[in-house]
Amino acid sequence: MSKISVKLRVWRQPGPNDAGKLVNYELTTDTHASFLEMLDQLNNELVNRGDDAIEFDSDCREGICGMCGLIIDGVAHGPSPTTTCQLHMRTYNDGDTITIEPFRATGFPILKDLVVDRGAFDRIQAAGGYVSVGTGAPADANSVPVGKMLAEEAMDYAACIGCGACVAACPNASASLFTAAKIAQLALMPQGNVERKERALAMTAQMDKEGFGPCSNHGECEAVCPKGIPIKTIAIMKREWLKATLG
């Protein structure tokens, strides 16, 4: 089992209205540990000496839920195109200095330390409403034929886990990739046709209301997305919005 010693610069902020700063720590950890396990170890040491633990979000720790989200050395989720929980300390070398900050965006206000409020994503998704489908007896599996390629493309967009890395990476803190993925996954399926226009208008309007910026066309969102949502998804959203606007 290999050990490495790292220097950590961690953003500490007592509350949403308090000033924050980077605080230096030193830690010796195992190379097989995940990034979040390393933070757990640091927190154990802090608590044992009577200091406050560092607050950060996590849940499944399997790259599924999208809860974990950190800016690591200036990159959302760190150097690998994956979620923070799937980043491992073997990525680093002995003596490395690692800077850890929260996602930064007007739409993601900091609550404490590395924790941000991503409730804006919930409100954008809720603005899309529901899908109107017939109720009653279960329908036959093939009663609504959907082409294989179309279904697979829709599933690619549905893979978005709402982690917010796209917002954190964008120079304009745009939520376009997230919103576009949620619009596109239903726009491509016949089940989403009933509310198709209303959904595109409502979700894009809510996105703007939450304070996110416009798409910068830089492509950072695509580069850091752990699920590989392509930037062309935003073009689908814009087309859906335009068609809905024109009636």
Task: Read off the pLDDT of residues 67-102 as tens digits, 9 standing for 90 and up.
Answer: 999 999 999 999 988 999 999 999 999 999 999 999
* Helical axes 176-187 vs 196-209, angle rounded to 10°: 170
Task: Read off the pLDDT of residues 197-206 as tens digits, 9 standing for 90 and up.
Answer: 999 999 999 9
**pTM attached to this predicted model:** 0.92
For a pLDDT cut of 90, what percent of the chain falls above it?
Answer: 87
The answer to whether residue 36 sits within a structural domain is yes
Question: Rounded to an integer, what distance in angstroms lies between the CA atom of residue 178 and that of residue 170?
Answer: 12
Number of domains in the chain: 2
In angstroms and rounded to an integer, the radius of gyration of the C-alpha atoms of the chain is 20
The answer to whether residue 109 sits within a structural domain is no
Q: Residue 31: which of 77, 98, 87 has the closest Cα? A: 87
Question: Rounded to an integer, what distance in angstroms lies between the CA atom of residue 94 and that of residue 231?
Answer: 36
Q: Which CATH number covers residue 60?
A: 3.10.20.30
The answer to whether residue 112 sits within a structural domain is no
* Domain ranges, residue 59: 3-101
What's the mean pLDDT when you consider all of the chain? Answer: 94
Does residue 136 have a pLDDT over 90?
A: no
Does residue 170 have a pLDDT over 70?
A: yes
Query: Using an 8 Å Cβ cutoff, are 27 and 38 in contact?
Result: yes
Coil/strand/helix, residue 118: coil
Does residue 135 have a pLDDT over 90?
A: no
The answer to whether residue 94 sits within a structural domain is yes
More confident residue, 240 or 138: 240
Same domain for 76 and 45: yes
Q: Residue 231: which of 244, 215, 243 has the closest Cα? A: 215
- Predicted local distance difference test score (pLDDT) of residue 142: 67
- Predicted local distance difference test score (pLDDT) of residue 144: 73
Question: Rounded to an integer, what distance in angstroms lies between the CA atom of residue 181 and that of residue 25?
Answer: 38
Task: Read off the pLDDT of residues 28-60 as tens digits, 9 standing for 90 and up.
Answer: 999 999 999 999 999 999 999 999 999 999 999
Residues written for the chain: 247
Please state the φ and ψ torsions of residue 90, each to the nearest 5 degrees. -65, -10
CA 168 vs CA 37, 104, 187: distances in Å: 23, 6, 26
**pLDDT band at residue 187 using 50, 70 and 90 as cut-offs:** very high
* Helical axes 176-187 vs 148-158, angle rounded to 10°: 150
* Helical axes 176-187 vs 232-245, angle rounded to 10°: 70
Same domain for 219 and 130: yes
- Predicted local distance difference test score (pLDDT) of residue 1: 62
Same domain for 137 and 43: no
Which of 101, 128, 152 is the endpoint of a domain? 101
**pLDDT band at residue 141 using 50, 70 and 90 as cut-offs:** low
The answer to whether residue 127 sits within a structural domain is yes
Same domain for 162 and 92: no
- Predicted local distance difference test score (pLDDT) of residue 130: 84
Same domain for 137 and 59: no
Which of 40, 70, 101 is the endpoint of a domain? 101
- Predicted local distance difference test score (pLDDT) of residue 190: 86
- Cα 149 versus chain centre, distance: 26
- Mean pLDDT (whole number) for 201-221: 96
